[in-house]
Structure 1
Amino acid sequence: MFDYDSELVRYQERLWEALDIRPGDRVLDIGCGTGRTTREAARAASPGTALGIDVSGPMLARARREAESEGLRNVEFVQADAQAHVFPPEHFSLGVSRFGTMFFADPVAAFANIGQALRPGARFVQLVWQAADRQEWHAAIRAALGRGHASPTSGPAADDPFTLADPQVVAGALTAAGFTAVDVADVREPVSYGPDADRARAAVLQLWMAKELLTDLDAESAERALDRLGATLDAHDTGDGVWFDSRAWLVTARRR
C-alpha cells in the first residue's frame, strides 16, 4: 500500500496550520485514507470527535488499527462515498480533506452533501493539486516511464487527480454547493517518495500512474523504463530522502 502520509508530510504541516482545531470540535475528514489527519484531529478536538470517510477498505483497516494502537476512543471511520453518504445533518463543526476531493464525479453535488453535514458557519478546509504541469513528480515519472508527452488525464476520469486544479472551478463548485467566503491560496511544498532511491522506486511502482504507464510495454521496453526511473530517483535523492517539487491549492470556505 502506497504511503501517502510520508509523501505528503510537508503538506500535512501546512494543512494543520490552517485547520485551527479547537477542543470540542466535531471534525469530518473527507477521503481520509489511512486516517492520519483524522487521528490528529481527534487528539486536538478532544473531548470532541473526528470521523474519517473513505472508499478504500484496506486503508480504513489500517486507520482503525492505528487508532486502536494509539488508544483513541473519540475517532471513527466509515467506508462510504462522501458524494452520497447520509451524514447526520448540521453535525460537524469543521470539514477537512487532504487531497481527497479531486475524484468526485459531480463536485457540486458532493460539496453540497458535505455542506449539509456541517453546521452553519462551519469551515471546510481542503488541499487539492494544481495543474499537472506544475507537478515535478508527475512530469518526471511520466518522462522516465516513456510517456512524457502523453495526456496527463489519459486514465479514467475517476483517477484524475487534477480535476480541481483550476481555482475558478473549485471556487465555483463550492459556491454553487452553498459555501461562502471561498479562498484559494497557493501552496508549494516538495513531496517525498522514500528515504532513498531504492525504496522510492518500490513506492512509485505502487502508484496507479506508474502501473498504467508500464501496462502496455514489452519486457525490454519495461526494463529500459525502470532503468530511467531509477536514474530519475537517484537524481532527486538529496541524502535526506527522494523529493520532488509540487504545488497545491489550500481551499477554505464556510457553510452558509
Structure 2
Amino acid sequence: MRRGEGHAARMDGVYREQRHIYDLTRKYYLLGRDRLIDELMPPVGGRVLEIGCGTGRNLIAAARCWPGARFYGVDISGEMLKTARASIARAGLAKRIRVAEGDATDFDPNALFRADGFDRIFQSYTLSMIPDWQGAMREATRHLAPYGSLHIVDFGQQEELPAWWRGVLLGWLARFHVEPRAMLVEAAREVANDIGGRMSVTRLYRGYTWSVRIDRRPH
C-alpha cells in the first residue's frame, strides 16, 4: 500500500455521499474559515494553496475575495475533488483555481501544477483529520515562498466552554474520524522555530476554534 492510500480510501468512504451536503451542514460548526480567508492578503499575482481543499468552498470564497491572486488546492479524496471541480466550474473560476489529488504529508506542486513557492498556504479543519498532522504542517511550510505564511484554522480544546459540551462535541466528531489536536500550538511553534519563522495563535469563540499563523523569513 502506497503512503496515504489507506487514508485516501477512508476519506473517500466518508465523503462519497456526504460531499453532496457537506457545505450545507458544515457551515454551522466549521467556524473561522471566512476570517482566515479575509486575513490571507496575498500579493497581486501571488499564489495561494489550500491543503485539504475538499469541496472547493474555501478556494471559491478566497478567489472572490482576492481577485488578483492565483489559487491551487490539493486533497487526498478523489470523491471530494469531483464536487470541487464541478463547483469551481459553476462559479466561473476554472481559469483561476486548479485542484489536484495529493497527500497533505507528501506532495509535489511542481508535478501537480507546475508551481512551487506559494505566498500563502492554508489548512482549514484538515489537521484534525490527518493521521500525521504534524507532518502535514511541515510539508506545508516546505512549500512556502520567502516571506510566505501558513494559515491554519481548526478545532480548539473548548477551553472556556462547559465540560459537557466538550464531551458531546468530541464524541460526535470521532464518528467522522476527526480529532482536535491538543498539541497544535506547541507543534506549530516547533515548526516555526525549525524554519526560523514566527508563530502566532488566536483562540476564537471561547476556545472552540484555534487560528494559527506561521510566517516564514528567509535565512
**TM-score, scaled to structure 1:** 0.62
Within 2, Cα distance between the matches of 1:42 and 1:74? Answer: 7
Distance 1:165 1:18, change over 3 A: farther
2:208 match: 247
> How many residues in Structure 1 have an aligned counterpart in Structure 2?
191
1:159 match: 177
Deviation (angstroms), 1:106: 3.2
Amino acid at match of 1:129: F
Distance 1:108 1:181, change over 3 A: same
Within 1, Cα distance between the matches of 2:171 and 2:193? Answer: 27
Q: Is residue 2:127 matched to residue 1:101?
A: yes
Within 1, Cα distance between the matches of 2:48 and 2:87? Answer: 18
Distance 1:14 1:46, change over 3 A: closer
1:84 match: 106
SS of the equivalent of 1:7 reads coil
Q: Is residue 2:28 matched to residue 1:7?
A: yes
- Which stretch shifts more, 48-57 or 65-74? 48-57
Within 2, Cα distance between the matches of 1:179 and 1:109? Answer: 17
Q: 1:169 aligns with which of 184, 187, 209?
A: 187
The answer (yes or no) to whether the contact 1:126–1:252 under 8 Å persists in 2 is yes
SS of the equivalent of 2:199 reads strand
1:50-129 correspondence runs (5 A):
50-72=71-93, 73-88=95-110, 90-129=116-155
1:49 match: 70
Write the deviation string for residues 53-108 of structure 1: whole angstroms up to 9, x where unpaired.
Answer: 11222221111111101111110111221101112374211011111123333344
Amino acid at match of 1:32: C
Distance 1:140 1:163, change over 3 A: closer
1:157-236 correspondence runs (5 A):
159-164=177-182, 166-176=184-194, 178=195, 180-188=197-205
- Which stretch shifts more, 115-124 or 100-109? 100-109
Q: Is residue 2:56 matched to residue 1:35?
A: yes
Deviation (angstroms), 1:184: 0.8
SS of the equivalent of 2:120 reads strand
Q: Sequence identity, in percent?
A: 21
Within 2, Cα distance between the matches of 1:104 and 1:174? Answer: 20
- Which stretch shifts more, 20-29 or 127-136? 127-136
SS of the equivalent of 2:35 reads helix
Amino acid at match of 1:99: Y
SS of the equivalent of 1:71 reads coil
The answer (yes or no) to whether the contact 2:63–2:71 under 8 Å persists in 1 is yes
Larger RCO (CA under 8 A, 6+ residues apart)? 1
**Which consecutive unaligned segments of at least 5 residues does structure 1 have?**
144-150, 190-245
**TM-score, scaled to structure 2:** 0.72
